[in-house]
Amino acid sequence: MNIQFDKTSNVSAELTVSFEKADYQERVDKALKDYRKKAAMPGFRPGQVPMSLLKKRFGSEITAEEVQKLLSEKLYGYLRENKVNMLGEPLASEKQQAVDFEAEQLDFIFDIALAPEFDAKLTAKDKIPYYTIEITDGMIDQQVKAYTQRGGNYQQVETWQTGDMTKGHIAELDEDGNIKEGGIVKEDAVMLPEYFKNEDQKKKFEGVGVNTVITFNPSEAYEGSTAEVSSLLGITKEEAENVKANFSYQINEITRYTPAEVNQELFDRVFGEGSVKSEEEFRGRIKEQMQQQFAGDAQYRFLFDVRQYLEKRIGDLEWPDELLKRVMRANNPDKDEKFVEDNYAGSIKELEWHLIKEQLADQTGIKVEQADVLETAKEQTRAQFAQYGMGNIPEEVIERYANEQMQKREQLDNFVARTVEHKLGVTLKDVVKLQEKTISFEDFQKLFENK
């Protein structure tokens, strides 16, 4: 057996694996003997088929199978032992000719895409910004309001005010203000007058009560929006285009959404029974929540800045473009050439970042264990529940849901990548020189406007 590795450029190579019969014949003979033990052919008892007949019928097929196994072992063994920094998988060379498994020598030629060489190591000489987001009383007020809105309920009231929903009987009027014969009528028509676009039409609802009949013009109320008018009246958009008349509206119900009060019931719902016992403690816990959230945001931004800093320092890299495009085509057989051209540049940027992270992980010695990935999945699960004001979910529920998500390959890959980045962010803060800055939440968001 012979393996020859020839660099064809700084970022590509040709690897040839050559076998002589002696390299694989013993494996083939053993495979034939094993097959003979279970082979069944007409006229012969199991295990008694003549070897010459087996070789004639199945020799080429078994030889090809054993050679492929040996090729895989030797090919990947060589790449591992020689630490070839390969991108993707070896590609069968366009020079490769059909293999005759009866020949004295078998040659397999592969094209290898090589990673570009660069140095992404960081030291205390490297300066990276690190932001601390300031939490104001106003931000805490907004979160308290969000919790009260989520915990509120609907109540029937007697008099309308801004934000209330009405339900009633609506009927088209003629030019004299009487109910039009054969006109448009709808029972239980629901409206939110607050969303009228015309202020004069909206004012007609101010202070009105249940059982009141008012006259208004739907077309004017929604400033000619056929979608809104058709939805209100239960007609088609085409029909709504011709609706210009006034309508009577008898209000039968007025419903108001009342936010929850800031009291013990709300504290228990958000943080668990008895966990918080005063509004001061409630606001304090909210601040802690926001600090944890913003710490994660700051960590994300820090690694984002690390990436930008290193990409700028490294500069433009040489890539084996044609080989990588072949890999992309092979991985996306259902896509056309336009897909490759449109997505290639973006995939290269992500590949570069992946290689940078590999170097940084090697430099810092970070390892990712199963428990780390599970914790990442649990953190995401907690965040998802928190979005709906559910902050006191039992730990066993969180863990069960996280484990379910980890069964999905794409989700698992995402959790692993996030875990690596989280560990890198934590570790690199002790490697580089931090340029620490306190910043408002609004200004922090602006940092991402020109990503």
pLDDT digits (tens, 9 = 90+) for 195-252: 999 999 999 999 999 999 999 999 999 999 999 999 999 999 999 999 999 999 999 9
Count CB atoms within 10 A of the CB of residue 248. Answer: 19
Q: What does the CA dihedral 236, 237, 239, 241 come to, rounded to 10 degrees?
A: 170
Mean pLDDT of 353-374: 92
Q: Which one, of 128, 117, 127, 125, lies nearest residue 355 by Cα?
A: 117
- pLDDT of amino acid 389: 60
- Which phi and psi (to 5°) does residue 321 adopt? -55, -50
The three-class DSSP label of residue 411 is helix
> How large is the greatest C-alpha to C-alpha distance in the chain, in angstroms?
107
**And the tokens for 190?**
């629901």
Strand, helix or coil for residue 135 = coil
The band of 314, judged by pLDDT with boundaries at 50, 70 and 90, is very high
In the chain, the domains with their CATH numbers are: 2-113 (3.30.70.1050), 127-144+266-446 (1.10.3120), 153-258 (3.10.50.40)
Query: What per-residue confidence (pLDDT) applies to 29?
Result: 86
What pLDDT does residue 408 have? Answer: 87
Task: Check whether 382 has a pLDDT greater than 70.
Answer: yes
| Tens digit of each residue's pLDDT (9 = 90 or more) over 75-131 | 999 999 999 999 988 999 988 988 888 888 999 999 999 999 999 999 999 999 999
Neighbours of 222 (CB within 10 A): 20
What per-residue confidence (pLDDT) applies to 185? 96
Q: Which of 295, 266, 306 is nearest to 283 (CA)?
A: 266
393-417: pLDDT as tens digits = 788 888 888 888 888 888 888 888 8
Helix (H) or strand (E) holding 191: strand 185-191
- Counting residues of the chain whose pLDDT is more than 90, the rounded percentage is 69
pLDDT above 80 for 47: no
DSSP-assigned beta bridge partners for residue 249 = 170, 214
| pLDDT given for residue 39 in this prediction | 72
The separation between CA 101 and the C-alpha centre of its own chain, rounded to angstroms, equals 47
Residue 390 reports pLDDT greater than 80:
no
Phi-psi region of 274 (alpha: psi -120 to 50; beta: other; left: phi over 0): left
pLDDT digits (tens, 9 = 90+) for 153-187: 999 999 999 999 999 999 999 999 999 999 999 99
From the list 231, 167, 234, 235, the residue with the least C-alpha distance to 205 is 167
Q: Are 165 and 191 in contact, with CB atoms under 8 Å apart?
A: yes
pTM: 0.72
Of 166, 164, 170, whose CA–CA distance to 190 is shortest? 166
Pull the structure tokens for residue 96. Answer: 């490769």
